[in-house]
A and B are shown apart, each in its own frame.
Chain A
Amino acid sequence: MVHLTINGKPVEVEEGTTILQAARKINIDIPTLCFLKDINEIGDCRICVVEVEGKRGFATACIQKVEEGMVVKTNSPAVIEARRVVLDLIISNHDRECLTCTRNGNCELQKLAEEFNITQIEYAGSRNRHEIDDLSPAIVRDFNKCILCRRCVSTCNKIQGVGAIDCTERGFDSCISTYGNKSLNDVNCTFCGQCIEACPVGALKEKDSTNEVWRKLRDEDTVVIVQTAPAVRVALGEEFGMEIGTNVKGKMVTALKRLGFDKVFDTNTGADFTIVEEGNEFLERLKNGGKLPMITSCSPGWVRYMEMNYPEVIPNLSTCKSPHQMFGALIKTYYAEKENIDPSKIFVVSVMPCIAKKFERTRDGMKSAGYDDVDAVITTRELARMIKQAHIDFVNLEDSEFDAPMGEATGAGAIFGTTGGVMEAALRTVQEKLTGNHFEKLEYEQIRGMEGIKRAKVDMNGTEVKVVVASGLKNAQTIMEEIKSGKADYQFVEIMACPGGCIMGGGQPIRTSKERANIDIKGKRASALYSIDEKSTIRKSHENPVLQKIYKEYLGEPGGHRAHELLHTSYVKRDKYKF
């Protein structure tokens, strides 16, 4: 144990603890900006500088490990002045139009400026300006707001292993950019959006689709139907100050109705379809010697990554569309027919925790019925903005239920939003179909939990099925290398681009660095989903009555001709760079 004094208060911590951690332990907070625990610990911004007695200059609190007998001062006048000057300099090179910025009110720089009582910029001067990159369907990059904290670079390289962005140029001209300064659309970006979640300011954001949705909502001729992903309902409340991991499904549905959507459906229902189709596909491959291991395909960031880096694995991928795409296809066909609505007048909006789905809906093969399966994708954040725009008092809304007939979903559909959830849902269906048994224990603990790669064996009446669950693209790469080198001895793989699954997707509420360091956000959001599953009456996808009805009335057999037409898709080899 190491003993030190911070601001006169003694504290005892384990060896290897940083000054920042030690201080937080005794409720002394040191401001930080570039620090992102386990991801970006580089001491660049100089905001966290502190004085250490006997040492020349300042120490970097977020990195420097404590030493026995250290005497630390975290807010001496010299430290405060240095921090103020540093912040002044950062802001002097920043696009200070807060009023028109998407992070207004949720910006770490703004918070610091407020805390430090910055009332004027003493060291104003020239700025390093660049054009905004908004060429991709999913993500917008505005370097004029960048503070060069490099949290995004660390995330993209270290955590996701993609490396679409890096620091370029030198000195004042330093710029976080791509190869050749190309648009993110023209390089190997997978649109996973983890960089957005890491960015403390408004330099990275999703492509906004709310204006389009408002337009359609205004249009009396259009039937605007909205569906919401499972991960949205356990995070949306955070945008209104509610506790992380609160299930706000009821309020969310009410809010959506008040916004004027004609129908509010549940993507979880679509997820049930995905399970039935995918479970069927897997069993077919298992029985008939098809390509194994089979890999899930509902994460569009992962699919894009695979197409760019491991196109040889395409035959392994399930041909199933992701839940919201399947659902959109069904709305434009089955539902439209049933309700006698002209499908060209239906506008399907998906509320997703994901920005890659903004790209996914534009893919070839996502227009099964002759119309786009999904017409617009908005993120959890965008939905919150719309609710706030409509001045709806979210927190005090009463609960509502999803609309029939496509509003009923099973617990299996709900757990799609967390890593391991798709696999678990699939196994429930697969196990039952394979063994013919009706079994009661539905939780597969071996594939729950937050490790990046989870491996498990499931005994299905003598047939051992080995499964792997991976989240985060770096972990996906490990699995790909195993498959490539022939070392893969498992049959079924679930891959999610975002570490932790969709609950930590690129469209979810953005938490501050301090929260990410001290709160188990993943755990809380995930447990809310598992809770939904637990409380569901029906917990196996194939037992969903609405689903059974639609198959009977409309689709025919799972994997059959019609199902294939509407609910399946194909993949292509994708160039990483546009030269």
Chain B
Amino acid sequence: MQEILGKYSKEKSNLIQILNEVQEYYGYIPENAQVEISEYLSITMAQIYGVITFYSRFTLKPRGKYHIAVCLGTACYVKGSEKILDRAKEKLGIDVGETTKDGKFSLEATRCIGACGLAPVFTVNEEVYGKATVKTLDEAIDKIMENPE
């Protein structure tokens, strides 16, 4: 945390930049991170909480090792991305916003990520799967499940 905070001056406008880095690094915003940020920027805990809960990117609970985001933007929706989302829910046994018990997978329905030329699209962490089908989703998940990591 100190490393992240050290990059920024104590201006309150740095809050979202800092939170983005924390989210990136930890996969969520831990409580002690909020306390440190609160002290560093002199912002109340309530206000930080208000900012965290406003923006979709910030989560208070850790995500799975493999975070699956199915795009429900118009172009993808029109090309049937909802079926892919349903399949993901079914296969992983979790709902949107949840993480599997073993912490391996978490699921999200995301807004348009801008790869509309390849609709429908889902991502697993940074990797983008374009022109996706229920089959490609199955394959992607199976590949991860087979990997003993």
Contacts and interface: CB of A to CB of B under 8 A. Distances in A.
Direct contact, A vs B (beta carbon within 8 Å): yes
A164 interface: yes
12 contacts: A157-B44, A162-B44, A164-B44, A164-B46, A166-B49, A166-B50, A177-B46, A177-B49, A179-B44, A179-B46, A187-B46, A577-B45
A178 B54 contact: no
A179 B45 contact: yes
A179 B54 contact: no
A166 B44 contact: yes
Given A179-B49, A180-B49, A579-B31, A163 B54 contact: no
B31 A166 contact: no
Contacts of B44: 157, 162-164, 166, 179, 188
A168 B50 contact: yes
A165 interface: yes
A460 to B, nearest CB: 39
A164 B45 CA distance: 8
Interface of A: 157, 162-170, 177-180, 187-188, 576-577, 579
B49 A168 contact: yes
B47 A166 contact: yes
A165 to B, nearest CB: 6
Nearest to A576: B45
B46 A165 contact: yes
B45 A168 contact: no
Interface of B: 31, 34, 44-50, 53-55
A163 B53 contact: no
Contacts of A576: 45
B44 to A, nearest CB: 3
A178 to B, nearest CB: 6
B53 A179 contact: no
Contact of A167 (B34, B45, B50): B50
A163 B47 contact: yes
A458 B146 CA distance: 83
Task: Tell me the interface secondary structure of chain B in the complex.
Answer: helix
B46 A169 contact: no
A169 B53 contact: yes
| Among B44, B48, B55: residue with most chain A CB under 10 A | B44
A187 B35 CA distance: 13
Contacts of B48: 179
Contacts of A168: 46, 49-50, 53-54
| Among B47, B48, B49: residue with most chain A CB under 10 A | B49
Contacts of B46: 163-166, 168, 177-179, 187
Contact of A187 (B45, B47, B55): B45
Given A157-B44, A163-B44, A167-B50, 18 more contacts: A157-B47, A163-B47, A165-B46, A166-B44, A166-B46, A166-B47, A166-B49, A168-B46, A169-B54, A170-B53, A170-B54, A170-B55, A177-B46, A177-B49, A178-B46, A178-B49, A179-B46, A576-B45
Contacts of B53: 168-170
A389 to B, nearest CB: 36
Contacts of A170: 53-55
B38 to A, nearest CB: 9
A169 B55 CA distance: 8
A579 B47 CA distance: 17
B97 to A, nearest CB: 13
A187 B48 CA distance: 14
Nearest to B52: A168
A375 to B, nearest CB: 33
B43 to A, nearest CB: 8
The 6 closest A-B pairs by CB, nearest first: A163-B44, A179-B45, A166-B50, A166-B46, A168-B53, A179-B49
A433 B11 CA distance: 50
A555 B34 CA distance: 51
A576 B34 CA distance: 14
Contacts of A188: 44-45
A395 B46 CA distance: 44
Contacts of A167: 50
A489 to B, nearest CB: 26
Contacts of A163: 44-47
Contacts of B55: 170
| Among B44, B46, B47, B48: residue with most chain A CB under 10 A | B46
Contacts of A157: 44, 47
Contacts of A179: 34, 44-46, 48-49
A188 B46 CA distance: 9
A179 B49 CA distance: 6
A162 B47 CA distance: 11
A103 to B, nearest CB: 24
Contacts of B31: 180, 579
A168 B47 CA distance: 8
A169 B53 CA distance: 5
B138 to A, nearest CB: 33
A166 B55 CA distance: 15
B137 to A, nearest CB: 28
A236 B49 CA distance: 39
A548 B54 CA distance: 60
A426 B45 CA distance: 38
Nearest to B43: A163
| Among A157, A166, A576: residue with most chain B CB under 10 A | A166
A473 to B, nearest CB: 13
